[in-house]
Amino acid sequence: MVSNVNHCQGFEEDESDFINFKGKQVIVLGGGDTAMDCNRTSIRQGAKSVSCVYRRDEENMPGSRREVKNAREEGVQFLFNRQPVEIIGKDKVEGIKVVETVMGAPDENGRRKAEVVEGSEQIIPADAVLVAFGFQASPSPWFDKFGIETDAYGRVIAPKQGKFMYQTTNEKIFAGGDMVRGSDLVVTAIDEGRKAADGIMDYLDI
């Protein structure tokens, strides 16, 4: 995704950074908004086919329904209730092995879990596989040196309920957005940035 933006916008530093799926059979793994972005970018690059493989059913997809509809209109095929287990191919991708799933009981967040159906393995051919399972925290190596503590997942500790909203363990430093909460919506990052500004102004006694 990043390389495509750089390519389209003239920010590209090295031509070999650009990944092109023209004429390829593309499989995208995941069911969120990033997966839809990958699907639809592949279509626009001229992929021969684009299939989106997701382990739950359509009802339990996490992303925006509007974007799923748009992806489908543009020619993306959806393969629901299929959990990827293995990549097939030696020197290059030849396909992906999946197992079928059925929807089980809801988890603590109310989302139904995908349960694997024994003996349902199948192989879907592909020239390229894109993994869109989301992002996890990527704390900078210098955080330690400045007393910026992170939790077990590498997220910066900056609670909303602190003395000053979104203050880190270094009193002069505040933090918000994905690096504090883990990857989430644009609008939640905006909310946290705004509240952190209030925290900063309280701290500076403005």
Q: What single letter denotes the amino acid at residue 156?
A: V
Minimum Å gap between C-beta 169 and another protein is 12
Q: Per-residue x/- mask for another protein, residues 76 to 115, rule CB under 8 A?
A: --------xxxx-x--xx--x-------------------
Query: Would you say 80 or 177 has its CB closer to another protein?
Result: 177
Closest CA to 128 of 20, 24, 5: 24
Measured from the CB atom, is 105 or 206 closer to another protein?
206
Distances, alpha carbon 64 to alpha carbons 17, 56, 82, 113, in Å: 29, 15, 20, 19
For position 146 contacting another protein by CB under 8 A, the verdict is yes
Stretch that binds another protein, among 71-79, 105-113, 117-125 (CB under 8 A): 71-79
Q: How far is the CB of 52 from another protein (least distance, A)?
A: 15
Pairing state of beta strands 25-29 and 128-131?
parallel
Distance, CA of 167 to CA of 163 (rounded, Å): 8
- 58, 106, 140, 163: residue in contact with another protein (rule CB under 8 A): 140
Cβ atoms within 10 Å of 202's Cβ, excluding its own: 13
Where helices occur in 58-101 by DSSP H, the ranges are 65-73
Query: Mask: binding to another protein, 33-62, rule CB under 8 A, as x and -?
Result: xx--x--xx-xx-x----------------
